[in-house]
Structure 1
């Protein structure tokens, strides 16, 4: 391979990574961030398929994004049964490299499904941000032992960037949700104040009592009130 070809490939990778970094920066949600990572991972590591599973603060694991039906099917089966390599990678916070899907014995059901889908080797990398594991990046190739040392090194770097970007996107979403919640509560209080001639403290007390009596978060009680124009029977305590 000539030096000029090597330089061209290096320049191409540098431009691709720069575009990837810009797309990560522009992603406003965790889902958009996951899509950017998966889109970059496939050509960067020459994968057949890729996906990201997300792990929320309540401990739930969900499908973040996938490049095709193959990782979607594998994720879906693991989430349905509560077991599999991507779940282990997230819950144990470890990188799981499976060089041969056919030879994998710890998860036989997963192994059979992976082989049936034409997969040879798989790697799951946890998305670590501080002390939290936000999900896992999954990369799939059709041949066994197909991930080189360089592939795995790039995958680790990509997972670190993905974790930081997902954490930032989740913080932005959380802040946006808090703003939306305050707006909803304010709107619900306005309805109560107008309908029942209450001041703001009384309206808030009615809304809070309604939420407590029905086991709702304040935001959800406000949403219900706005949607139904209820609770009519709730009056402030005298």
Structure 2
């Protein structure tokens, strides 16, 4: 890998980390990957709670190709997720590793492809999948660039997910605090009693504390309570 490419990848890593959220980061990964390899299309598959989803795609046919992989249970993107390997497909239509998916992907206009995994030391996120309308478009040098790019992208995605989770947790704490204040004022109780009411209602109705708090902030009181009487008081 020459110095120009290495510097460009380093700059991209900085740009990705500056994206404000997970969705924006994933979209940026797709855009930069297409620029890095000069290919026609890029798709990003992400795994969340065991579900594989197309998180970003530069065209609708990429989404259709991903749908085919999930429908048929085979394809380079799925294989990359399962084996943690990269795959170069010189001729999508004739590659016998994915005999059902290949011809149908070729019918969408794809001739060759390259799939690399998104992962960090702690977890696998998904895969970056690059497509070209030309046969034998990708070579070993492209695979090396894609792997380095994927490592940068994985770090950026991990940071975005962590930050989003922290922001959600902070928002949840604020919401619970607001709900406590409403209960304290409405029922003339202290903060400890207000939290106990929230917690008891959460457990009794098998709802997350944040959901109960959100309902109180929106409606002004716990569901099923009579104005002036705290639930369980």
Give the TM bin, normalised by the shorter chain: 0.7 to 0.9
The 1:194/1:135 distance shift into structure 2, 3 A limit, reads: same
The correspondence of residues 49-198 of structure 1 with structure 2, limited to 5 A, is: 49-56=41-48, 58-79=49-70, 81=71, 83-85=73-75, 86-198=77-189
Match of 1:26 in 2: 18
> Tell me, what secondary structure is at the counterpart of 2:135?
coil
CA shift for structure 1 position 50 = 0.5
CA shift for structure 1 position 177 = 0.9
The 1:78/1:202 distance shift into structure 2, 3 A limit, reads: farther
Match of 1:206 in 2: 197
Structure 1's unaligned 5+ residue stretches are 1-8
Between the two proteins, the alignment pairs up a number of residues equal to 227
CA shift for structure 1 position 64 = 1.7
CA shift for structure 1 position 60 = 2.3
Matched-pair contact (CA < 8 Å) for 1:205–1:236: no
Taking structure 1 as the reference length, the TM-score comes to 0.84
CA shift for structure 1 position 38 = 1.6
Give the whole-Å Cα distance in 2 for the aligned partners of 1:185 and 1:200: 11
Matched-pair contact (CA < 8 Å) for 1:99–1:122: yes
Is residue 2:212 matched to residue 1:225? Answer: no
Give the whole-Å Cα distance in 1 for the aligned partners of 2:160 and 2:137: 32
> Tell me, what secondary structure is at the counterpart of 2:50?
coil
Structure 2's unaligned 5+ residue stretches are none
Match of 2:206 in 1: 215
CA shift for structure 1 position 141 = 1.2
After superposition, give the CA deviation of every residue in 1:180-212 in whole Å (9 maximum; x if it has no partner): 110111111111111111211111111112222
Give the RMSD, CA atoms, in angstroms: 2.3
Give the whole-Å Cα distance in 2 for the aligned partners of 1:146 and 1:213: 60
CA shift for structure 1 position 59 = 2.1
